[in-house]
Amino acid sequence: MNYSSLLHDKILCQASSKEISWIETKANENLLSLQTAFVAAQRFIRKDIVQSVSPVNSVSFNNWTLDRLVRVYFLTKLDSSDKDSYINAIDTLFDTAENNEAVALISALPFLAYPENWMLRATNAVRSNVGPVFDAIAFENPFPKKHFSEPAWNQLVLKCIFNDKPINKIEGISERANQELADSISYLAHERWSARRNIPTQAWRLVSSFVNKEILKDIQYLFSSESESEKIAAALVCYESNFQKAKEELNRHADLKLKAETKAINWELLEN
């Protein structure tokens, strides 16, 4: 797919004539010039938030700045036919990137050739203590969903939960739920409860398909909570679960069962 053409169309709707002139001049130059333009973009392109841009390759541009979009566009203009030169060019940008450049590079991963070569860059972003860099890989970015191993995926999700970040913004959050992650959420909840703290109620959506006797004890604990959102989470887990004892537990909370059945409660209700 010609991602550069699609991104160029998005830019034309956002940029001024002066910015477009600069972008098009740089986009048609050689590899070194494209690298230089990537770095220089902040001097020539506004940082205004792009408006009403539809997704490309499942990438949402929500809260992207124009200079970020332009930088990603420049990366899609790199010639990937020479694999070694292509990878070396992008590696050089990664190795010298300041934070805004790193955000653009991570944001560009779904558009880059040879995705297997960017796994370490992506997992390093998960471990990053720089908030915008972590957010660039975690939220509305399909790269982890498509390419992360289960342990790498779980690390990303658990870091979001641990830091109270919105897991609903992770691409593939429901599809890639797994037993190991469900168990880890249970362990984290126990640690928080011991410290008289809670995990975000959204996290419990990831255990619905993996309820067992041990996790059911957690759900029963949520039903006993004074927090209405935790009771809702417990009801939704039981409603979605195929574990018979979870169904029996939900029957003990008729009002919440009715709300779950009539869709009066859902996970979106707990997102905030």
CA–CA distance, 185 with 221 (Å, rounded to integer): 14
- Given this model, what pLDDT does residue 172 score? 97
pLDDT tens per residue, the chain (272 residues)?
A: 789 999 999 999 999 999 999 999 999 888 999 999 999 999 999 999 998 779 999 999 999 999 999 999 999 999 999 999 999 999 999 999 999 999 999 999 999 999 999 999 999 999 999 999 999 999 999 999 999 999 999 999 999 999 999 999 999 999 999 999 999 999 999 999 999 999 999 999 999 999 999 999 999 999 999 999 999 999 999 999 999 999 999 999 999 999 999 999 999 999 86
CB distance 23 to 73 below 8 Å: yes
* Predicted pLDDT of residue 186: 98
Q: Crossing angle, helix 119-127 and helix 150-162, to 10 degrees?
A: 20
Contact 114, 78 (CB under 8 A): no
Q: At what angle do helices 213-223 and 244-251 cross, to 10 degrees?
A: 20
Give, in degrees to the nearest 5, the angle at Cα 32 between 60 and 126: 40
pTM of the model: 0.94
Residue entry with tokens 């409603």: 239
Q: Which two tokens stand for residue 249?
A: 């537990």
CB 61, CB 50: distance < 8 Å:
yes
Residue 166, classified by CB atoms within 10 Å of its CB into exposed (0-12), middle (13-18) or buried (19+), is: middle
Provide the strand spans (E) within 83-217: none
SS3 category, 78: coil
Q: How far is CA 36 from the centre of its chain?
A: 28
Say what the pLDDT of residue 272 is. Answer: 67
